[in-house]
Amino acid sequence: MPDSSIQELEELPPDAAVAADHRNPRRRQNRQAQREEEPEVGILVNSDPSHDLAGLILHPGVKQQILDGLRSIRIRDQLEEVWSISRLQPQLGRCILNFYGAPGTGKTRAALGVAHRLGQPLYQVDYSAVISKYLGDTAKHIKRAFERATHHGAVLFLDEADSLLSKRVSLDESCATSINQNRNVLMQELDRFEGVVVMTTNLFGNYDDALLRRVQQHIEFRLPDASMRRELLALHLPNPERVKANLRSLAEQSRGLSGGDILNICLNAIHAGSRDPDPAKWVVTQEMLLREIKRAKAAKEKHSGRKTCGRRIGFRA
């Protein structure tokens, strides 16, 4: 049986048709079902108070830089009133932050801190779901990631974004065309998005210029100094009464290690110190921590000796 409401709809002028289509319950249901069938291209992470930016130990000024990046969103009404800023930047709610630096320096943790500060969840894009070997699908998935972040009112999170956003590389022609199409779609979506995007990378030099132009703040996460390493040790050993160690001297010994390394050192030492069947006897000692520091440093040295010059390429199937 013909659906009279749809026939009617087809004869309406375009704008009215769009409006009527929106109201049509059958089409609305179909649209909803279609959306639900489409694959997820990311993971929604709810931020909680443990993610607050206050819990991050960063070089002076870095936290302020992050907050400055977010300030433009908080004061957008005033910016509009005083500067009519929407004429210069139509997407008033948009802010793109790039956190770059060595592994384990707290970039991912800081992205959660940003989401928590804004009272929003984080939509972490899953590249294995975004990048497809089928022509056109990657571009569709990129659009979907932005759609999902908008739907959830989430901060869009491109962790290790260089795997998506690195510079043009010379490949065979069809592959290069598809890479550039995907890049264009990504740039368009970034331009349209009315929210906060956080991207992180260890390989900042690989970003292309079109992207760099769109980023509000590039924030460097450097390895911690001795006093920060001491704070990181204290942070990751949450029961000081059970810690029989001189954190100041351990911090000196852990030169070159990151917050992520210190997390692992503390976890390993906690496990080593919790072997007794009686939890009342569990303690972390100087020796346990020192042993883990030495292991972490040895592993790092070995790794840096073995490092090859391999680099990632954007949008590979």
Residues that bind ligand ATP (CB under 6 A): 56-58, 103-109, 200, 202, 221, 232, 259-260, 263
**Contact yes or no for 199/110 (Cβ under 8 A):** no
Token digits of residue 98: 């790039």
Residue number, 108 or 258, with CB nearest to Mg ion: 108
Angstrom CA distances, 32 to 29, 37, 90, 107, stand at 5, 9, 29, 35
Nearer to Mg ion, 108 or 132 (CB): 108
CB of 106 to ligand ATP, least distance (A): 3
Nearer to Mg ion, 245 or 261 (CB): 261
Residues that bind Mg ion (CB under 5 A): 107-108
Q: In angstroms, how far is the first alpha carbon of the chain from the final one?
A: 45
Cβ at position 46, least distance to ligand ATP in Å: 16
Residue 58 partner contact from Mg ion, ligand ATP, none using kind-dependent CB cut-offs of 5 to 8 Å: ligand ATP
Shortest distance, position 18 Cβ to ligand ATP, whole Å: 43
Q: Which is nearer to ligand ATP, 185 or 296 (CB)?
A: 296
Of 47 and 108, which CB lies nearer to Mg ion in the complex structure?
108
| Distance in Å, CB of 267 to ligand ATP, minimum | 10
Residue nearest ligand ATP, Cβ-based: 259
Residue 313 interacts with, from Mg ion, ligand ATP, none (CB under 5-8 Å by kind)? none
Residue 196 dihedral angles phi and psi, to the nearest 5° = -100, 135
Are the C-beta atoms of 45 and 124 separated by less than 8 Å? yes
In the complex, minimum distance from the CB of residue 69 to ligand ATP, in angstroms, rounded to a whole number: 17
Q: Which residues contact 129 (CB under 8 A, 6 or more apart)?
A: 39, 40, 41, 42, 141
Query: What is the C-alpha to C-alpha distance for residues 276 and 273, in angstroms, rounded to an integer?
Result: 8
SS3 at position 158: strand
Cβ-proximal residues to 110 (8 Å cutoff; 6+ apart), any chain: 53, 56, 58, 66, 99, 198, 221
